[in-house]
Structure 1
Amino acid sequence: MGKQLSRIWKDRYVYLLILPGLLYFAIYKYLPMFGLAMAFQDYSPFLGFFDSPWVGFKHFKKMFEDKEALQVIINTLEISLYQILFAFPLPIILAIMINEVRVSFYKRFIQSMVYLPHFLSWVVVIGIFVIFLRNDGLINSFLATVLDIKPIRFLTDPGWFKLLIVIQVIWKESGWGTIIILAALAGVNPQLYEAAIIDGASRWKQILCITLPAIRHTIIILLILRLGTVMDTGFEQIFLMLNPYTMDVGNVLDTFVYFKGIRQGDISFATAVGLFKGLVGLILVVLANKMARKFGGGGI
């Protein structure tokens, strides 16, 4: 025990650096977990945690019997599936393309340009899309004047909602997602490429046979982490895009919890939905991690 304390004191400045991060997780992630008890109560703010009646799994049963809740789960899974299929691979492709740029000035410039959207808030991003896509926006004005096409209801047509969500995620986050992949690419042994060039391998063959296998473990870890948030599509983006016309296809678990818990005051039911979302994410992470280890792909 004394040796451990002396080591901690010796590295006290390192622990001091990680203290803000530890406090963040303790205050905003672990401390609120005590409130999960409300999912098993008919919670009343006037009675508090200890005096509110316990009802067991009543709210979970209600969730699976509620048609609106089931539709919300389907909406969440669909949007997450689209993001995994289309938004997840793009940072990998983009990082490989950036890595192929040989002129360092252009490489840094491209990196800076694709990183920039990440630093914009969702309010700004949605505002930009609204300016372009509203009925009298830039795109509809172009379609009407140049192609003589009637305005398309991008923002109010339910058929466009999920596509726009995925496009926004791709535009905003793809550049930022390349950071980890580029770091992994920096660790690839250059001698492998030199040997491949001597053997007459083209750039495409080098990417397929050297680059992708070298970053396979990184991709698998990122995929496992992404599966853990499959029920988390992001509250702010969805909430800002929702309107009465797109509520049926756009209402997801995050916004559903807000509407039920904050606006309607059904705190216990909203807590049960949130707990269900977290449990599904945990199960998916564990299963994906076991599958990755089973097939020799590493894991977390």
Structure 2
Amino acid sequence: TCTGSNIRCFSQGSNQFGLYYPSSVRKVAGNVRCISVASSSLAQDVVNDSSRPSFVPKDVVLYLYEACPFCNEVKAFLDYYNVPYKVVEVIPIFKKEIKWSEYKKVPILMVDGVQMVDSTDIIDKLYQRIHPENSASISEEERKWLGWVDNHLVHVLSPNIYRNYKEALESFNYITSHGNFTFTQRVIAKYGGATAMCFVSKKLKEKHNITDECKALYGAAETWVYALKDRRFLGGSNPNLADLAVFGVSRPIRYLQSGKDMVEHTRVGEWYTRMEKDVGESARIDSVS
């Protein structure tokens, strides 16, 4: 099960992130979320071809499910800040790829041997290391919408990704074609996963009182557009952490049928296109087997 909040975090270690910032670096992503940061030594250098701060640790590995909203939230952050990372696609049914960890959920981010868990906590800690000059508080508006992502938006996504068996198969076909699956694992994950997630989706609808998953998704998209108040991003001229969170968790659905329907029936498409351009190309490098 993917998860993004209210999760205990295992020891983060005591490596020290050491970052160098050229004088031309512009501040982005708004004010920082409430953060309590342990010290750690990770980075060697800052590489910045677009006036955006980006640090390059020796080794960053993200353990994920391709369709997990919270995993994609972390990916969006790493992509935006040009932090190179490797990916290990975790097979949901077996989870053997994270057998080594006491934490049995995703995302798990390993940064130079330091384990980080929970998408919110991962982003908090990395953001503080990229922007150590910022205060530990954020605006009420940004805090409000970060909470909205965790407490509302993510709950309407899964029922739409897996809203029927056909679309669940579409989703798992995408997932298994992007991971390091054997043929047997691909078949089991695709058909077993699609069946299981259709059941989970039904339970999520009941739990969160969702009677019409499409209407709930379109409503969430319009709510976000209204929050922008004609700004390019919630953060103004540049995305802030709330923009990255909404963009990240919605990426798994964007090019599935439900995501195409969302863009067709709401006004969120223009903002999403701006985010794709600003986040830029993936910072992902070779996957780990």
TM > 0.5 fold call: no
Structure whose residues are more often helix by fraction? 1
So what's the TM-score if we normalise by structure 2? 0.21
Larger Cα-atom Rg? 1
Structure showing the higher strand proportion among its residues: 2
Normalising by structure 1, report the TM-score: 0.20
